Amino acid sequence: MPTLSRRDTVIGAGLAAAFGLTGRLIIEPAFAQKTADPAKGFASYKVGSAEVTAVYDGIFEKPHDPAFIANASVEDVKAAMTKAGLPADFVSITGTVVVVRNGGKTILCDAGTGGQAMGWVGGKMTANMTAAGIDPTKIDTVLISHFHPDHIFGLMAKDTNAPVYPNAEIVVSDVEYKFWTDPAVIDKLPEARKGLARRIQATFPTWKNVRQVTGEAEVAPGIRFVMAPGHTPGHRAFHLSSGTAQLMLSNDAMYVPALNVAHPEWRGQYDQDGATAEATRRALMDRLAADKTMVAGFHFPFPGVGQITKSGADYVLSINKA
């Protein structure tokens, strides 16, 4: 989706069908982006000898919804956003992909929105990668944490569904893959997710470059999958190690840190299994705090990397400056 102007933006019928919609969707001018993009859309840092580049893809300024957090009110959410120094009139959900260069390979960690995820002003990843000196055509491996639109639509060309990275190996959890590609799952999903499952089933099984991985295997040089279910059945974090240095890509285990780092008990509607997601969140944050491991989150404020600390029962995320 290109940056929204003050004019209405219309999503065409082909893309609407991919989302399970029956017609054209008009996004009102009130949803034009209010948050400024970063002055520079990428930030690089080292983890041991590995070169890591955070690449900004866009933002979802989510309107408040009483159903968003099952066990917190809209006023609770607004108060948490204010405490985090963020606007209280919407929920800020940024998207930042990570590119790792290690062991002679270039690894893309999740694929972003492709400018196609509903509500997002996204699709800025490719231009920001190029600005960072990363050639998208030279990606060797794409690691996919889970199959939500903001993480996989960047794999699929808009309208045609043609593979964007046909020569890269796409690595996914076998649990996640089997869940979403099961034809029987469509009838079990809420209406809002049926279109997503149909698009996945029309694409992923036709691609020859997808590798399913069981458990916590090494999936790229220095990177292992870490089981982190709950957000989706096969959701995975990625653990990068180089020498004595470590980085955990938590992906969507803590997808709105202003809310579910500060309040890990809050059950969000984007978590498929709220109880399991909470248990995963707590276990992962306990591990990060105890090991003093750097953490990068797909939806953390850009550049999306920092540290989790713990004070008593409370967790705190500190983001490093770009």
Q: Which CATH code of 3.60.15.10, 3.90.1150.10, 3.40.50.10320, 3.10.180.10 fits the domain covering 9-30+44-319?
A: 3.60.15.10
Q: What span, in angstroms and rounded, lies between the C-alpha atoms of 199 and 218?
A: 28
Q: What span, in angstroms and rounded, lies between the C-alpha atoms of 44 and 307?
A: 17
pLDDT digit string, tens, across residues 252-300: 999 999 999 999 999 999 999 999 999 999 999 999 999 999 999 999 9
Confidence band for 137, pLDDT divided at 50, 70 and 90: very high
320, 218, 155, 105 alpha-carbon torsion, rounded to 10°? 80
pLDDT in the model for residue 321: 78
Q: Is the pLDDT of residue 4 over 70?
A: no
Q: Which residues of 169-202 are buried (b: 16+ CB within 10 A; e: fewer)?
A: bbbbbebbbebbbeeebbeebeeebbbbbbbbbe
Q: Is the pLDDT of residue 16 over 80?
A: no
Point out which residues pair with 141 in neighbouring strands: 107, 169
DSSP H/E element including 316: strand 314-319
pLDDT digit string, tens, across residues 220-264: 999 999 999 999 999 999 999 999 999 999 999 999 999 999 999
Q: Is the pLDDT of residue 201 over 60?
A: yes
Q: Is the pLDDT of residue 50 over 90?
A: yes
pLDDT in the model for residue 46: 97
pLDDT in the model for residue 59: 97
pLDDT digit string, tens, across residues 143-167: 999 999 999 999 999 989 999 999 9
What separation, in Å, do the N-terminal and C-terminal C-alpha atoms of the chain show? Answer: 25
Q: Is the pLDDT of residue 117 over 60?
A: yes
Domain boundaries, the chain: 9-30+44-319
Confidence band for 27, pLDDT divided at 50, 70 and 90: very low
| SS3 of residue 266 by DSSP | coil
Report the chain's mean pLDDT, rounded to a whole number. 90
Poorest-pLDDT segment among 99-113, 185-199, 218-232 = 185-199
pLDDT digit string, tens, across residues 56-81: 999 999 999 999 999 999 999 999 99
pLDDT in the model for residue 250: 98
| SS3 of residue 132 by DSSP | coil
Q: What span, in angstroms and rounded, lies between the C-alpha atoms of 29 and 14?
A: 22
- Name the more confident of 289 and 322: 289
pLDDT in the model for residue 14: 36
54 phi and psi angles, rounded to 5 deg: -85, 130
Q: Is the pLDDT of residue 24 over 80?
A: no
Point out which residues pair with 56 in neighbouring strands: 96
pLDDT in the model for residue 322: 65
Q: Is the pLDDT of residue 6 over 50?
A: no
pLDDT in the model for residue 62: 96
pLDDT in the model for residue 192: 87
Q: What span, in angstroms and rounded, lies between the C-alpha atoms of 121 and 1?
A: 6
Instruction: Give the residue-averaged pLDDT of 79-87.
Output: 95
Instruction: Give the residue-averaged pLDDT of 80-96.
Output: 96
Q: Which two tokens stand for residue 91?
A: 């929920």
